[in-house]
């Protein structure tokens, strides 16, 4: 049995970019347009000497419910049910949005372990977004940059206890 890690969060926070970096291939579609990942994608990830299954989400197109929240929740829920641990991404450049808070409320009610990841943190200029994420009430926040490959060692520290 391999560890399953889901990447969840609102559109455009960099979930597919992180997925691609972990999988090492251009498997997930990355786009400036929110919601281009049409369903869940599974990939074989490698981080240092650790290997695991990673699940990318968004699924804005595939929903029964008309609301953005409902659409994200539907895909996220399936991925969340299927994973051992979830990485909840926020955008440190943009700061928190109502959708992030909505997601956090949903996650806080679950029993499964969730780790908040402040993506797009390339330097001190993004510290305000990082600190703001502590206000989500989901514990410690790890600053990373999926695009530049920064903070990957923090992800190893986060995931190691689940082996």
Mark the binding-site residues for GTP, compressed into ranges. Answer: 9-16, 56-60, 119-122
Residue among 6, 8, 13, 16 that touches Mg ion (CB under 5 A):
16
Q: Which does 127 bind (CB under 5 to 8 A by kind): ligand GDP, Mg ion, none?
A: none
- Binding residues, by number, are 9-16, 56-60, 119-122
Beta carbon of residue 14, minimum distance to ligand GDP (angstroms, whole number): 3
Q: Could you say whether residue 75 binds ligand GDP (CB under 6 A)? A: no
Alpha-carbon distance 54 to 49, whole Å? 15
User: Of residues 3, 138, 147, 152, which one binds ligand GDP by CB under 6 A?
Assistant: 147
CB closer to ligand GDP out of 14 and 43: 14
Identify each DSSP E strand in 34-113 by its residue range. Answer: 41-47, 50-56, 85-91
Query: Shortest Cβ contact with Mg ion: which residue?
Result: 16
> Binding string, 26-65, against ligand GDP, x = CB under 6 A?
----xxx-x--x--------------------x-------
Out of 5, 14, 103, 158, the residue judged to bind ligand GDP by CB under 6 A = 14
Of 93, 125, 103, the C-alpha closest to 17 is 93
Check if the beta carbon of residue 137 is closer than 8 Å to that of residue 112: no
Say whether residue 95 binds ligand GDP (CB under 6 A): no
Query: Using the 8-state DSSP alphabet, how is residue 133 labeled?
Result: H
88: which strand partners? Answer: 8, 116
What count of other Cβ atoms lies within 10 Å of the Cβ of residue 94?
A: 15
68: enclosing H helix or E strand? helix 68-82
CB within 8 A of 77, min separation 6: which ones? Answer: none
Q: Which stretches of the chain bind ligand GDP, using CB under 6 A?
A: 11-17, 30-32, 34, 37, 58, 119-120, 122, 145-148
């Amino acid at each position: 049995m391999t560890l399953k890690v889901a990447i969840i969060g609102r559109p455009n926070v960099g979930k597919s970019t992180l997925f691609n970096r972990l999988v090492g291939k251009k498997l997930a579609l990355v786009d400036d347009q929110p919601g281009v990942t049409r369903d869940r994608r599974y990939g074989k990830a490698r981080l240092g000497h650790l290997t695991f299954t990673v699940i990318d989400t968004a699924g804005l197109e595939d929903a029964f419910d008309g609301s953005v929240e409902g659409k994200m929740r539907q895909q996220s829920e399936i991925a969340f049910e299927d994973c051992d641990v979830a990485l909840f991404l926020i955008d440190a450049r943009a700061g928190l949005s109502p959708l992030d808070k909505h997601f956090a409320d949903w996650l806080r009610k679950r029993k499964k372990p969730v780790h908040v990841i402040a993506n797009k943190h390339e330097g001190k200029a993004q510290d305000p977004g990082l600190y703001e994420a502590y206000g989500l009430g989901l514990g410690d926040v790890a600053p990373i940059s999926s695009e530049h490959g920064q903070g990957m060692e923090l992800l190893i520290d986060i995931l190691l206890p689940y082996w």
